[in-house]
Amino acid sequence: MSTFQSLQNKVLDFFGAADAEMREEVKEAINDVIAEINDEVPYAKHTQATDTFTLTQGSTTVTGIPASDYDHVLRIYLTVLSRAQAPLTYLTYSEWNNRRLYDLGNDIPTHWTYWNNVFYVGPPPDSAYSGTMDYYKFDTALSADSDTGLLTDLYSRWERIIIEGAKARIHEYLATDEDMIQRANNKYQYGIRRFRSWTRRNLNKDPDATRVRNWKERRYNVATSSPYGNVRVF
């Protein structure tokens, strides 16, 4: 596992520089790359967490979620009859409105959606069911020299992508020749493609998982079927 400082040093050593201004540029470059990888490879969100909530009878609005470190959803399910786990199926907000689930009579909720930082379930619950949301945490910016991000914790061999991406950005900052900048970017993008392919094959294979980017309302790597009915793949 690499610390923020060790990542900085590997980039600085490549350029043979260690002054304070250059180090600040490298810090910013590393965090920019981590943010980009988070967006480009959503499957890489490997650190999972769980949050619980209680529905209000007759209300489609869910209170108590999301958590402050929420990035995207793995699954949401209810506890029914004190034992059974009833997974809820995701709908986009437009699908939610088209189906008018919120207008149906009270029943055990079967679907959920997300809009404007609020979760909704439908049909309106006929009881105050307890629920659980399994989700992935976002990778926050590194700050202290001893910080280690989720991506650098994942598998140390993939830290090379962060380093190559930071080097590409520093080449642009230094305004080196166009060929050098292009070669550095090509090397970084090749790493991104390999990382995306590897994580799709090896991470997050829960067959009932519905992964939703909270800022785009999109589903990723969703199983085409489950014991609870079919779900579409985006």
**What CA–CA distance (Å, rounded) separates 224 from 83?**
26
Residue 223's pLDDT is what? 32
Helices (H) and strands (E) in the chain, counts: 6, 10
- pTM listed for this prediction: 0.57
Q: In percent, how much of the chain has pLDDT > 90?
A: 36
Q: For residue 74, which of 176, 174, 211, 194 has the smallest C-alpha distance? A: 211
Whole-number pLDDT of residue 197? 80
In the chain, which residues have pLDDT < 50? 153, 204-234
Q: In the prediction, which pLDDT does 52 show?
A: 92
Tell me, what's the pLDDT at 142? 85
- The CA-based dihedral angle spanning residues 137, 138, 139, 141, taken in that order and rounded to the nearest 10 degrees: -130
At residue 166, φ and ψ (nearest 5 deg) are: -65, -40
CB atoms within 10 A of CB 146: 10
CB 6 within 8 A of CB 23: no
